[in-house]
Amino acid sequence: MRTVLLALAAALLLAHNTAAATLDRIKADGVFRLGYRTDAQPYSYSTDAGLPAGYVVDLCREVAKAAGRQVGRADLRVEYVAVTAENRFDALRDGRVDILCDPTSMTLSRREQVDFSLMTFVDGASVLFQADGPRSFEDLAGKKVGVRSGTTTEQALRATLARLNVTADVVAVTDHRDGLKRVMSGELAAYFADRAILAFLLLQSDAPQKLRLADEYFTHETYALALPRDDGAFRLLVDRTLAELYRTGAVVKIFANSFGATPPSDIVKALYLLNSLPD
């Protein structure tokens, strides 16, 4: 019986230490490690000056402020760690970053690896064509189509092509800007990504008249901040920060900082409303 009780106590102590791990480390080190993407504008990207920016990055900065207040570190330093679509979850699990600040789609299979915050955005996969190129999925038969590797969009593209019995050459690229470049050069007939990302790629293009952004959404992606698993104290702090931003309307300014005069869609407004949890 004594052995059983000691084992139970050890398990409870381990659970407590795990739950408080992130905030304890932040307090001890005075550093909040924010994982961001360099190529996912307007959500998470690197500016021409090499500075981290984007809607989701700004949300994480608010989380960093809240973490500093909670652990009593007014001098808390934010360290920006560039991650990719391929290595971001490894970086979080390995402790190289404390939070993922990119357009991470929340899925059940990903919840086997990480935890997620309250929802932060809703977008969906769409496609950027050459203006004089294919007009539909069926027209992609026999052509090269690009997609960012390591994303749910890649999975959705392959599944949709298979469902429609369309044989196309799927080219996985490692950077959205590279995908745009290949469409512009004619190497790719189309490029698939989240529609907001495609809209910004189109704006950045040297010849937007040569491109056409489809109106359709082929998937709907629910974004959230990815967090270390089984860290309830940290997740509560993140959710409390997001809920307050939504509840007070402060998120509107953060949204405008990345999306300009374009107002939030009705579905994003509903997301803010539904996640405005009372404290």
Rg (CA), the chain: 21
Flag whether the pTM goes above 0.75. yes
Interval 63-90: pLDDT, tens = 999 999 999 999 999 999 999 988 999 9
Q: Which residues of 51-88 are buried (b: 16+ CB within 10 A; e: fewer)?
A: ebbbbbbbbbbbbbebbbebbebeebebebbbbbbeeb
Residue 9 scores a pLDDT above 80: no
Per-residue pLDDT tens for 29-65?
A: 999 999 999 989 899 999 989 999 999 999 999 999 9
Span 116-130, pLDDT tens digits: 999 999 988 888 888
Q: Which domains does the chain have, with CATH numbers?
A: 2-122+223-274 (3.40.190.10), 125-213 (3.40.190.10)
Confidence of residue 12 (pLDDT cuts 50, 70, 90): very low
The mean pLDDT value of the chain amounts to 88
E strand or H helix that includes residue 204? helix 195-204
Residue 101 has pLDDT above 50, yes or no: yes
Q: Could you tell me which of 65, 72, 70 has the C-alpha nearest to residue 32? A: 65
Token pair listed for 156: 């959705």
List, for residues 216-233, the tens digit of each pLDDT value.
Answer: 888 888 999 999 999 999
Looking at the DSSP bridge assignments, the partners of residue 226 are 100, 116
Of the pLDDT bands very low, low, confident and very high (cuts 50, 70, 90), residue 13 is very low
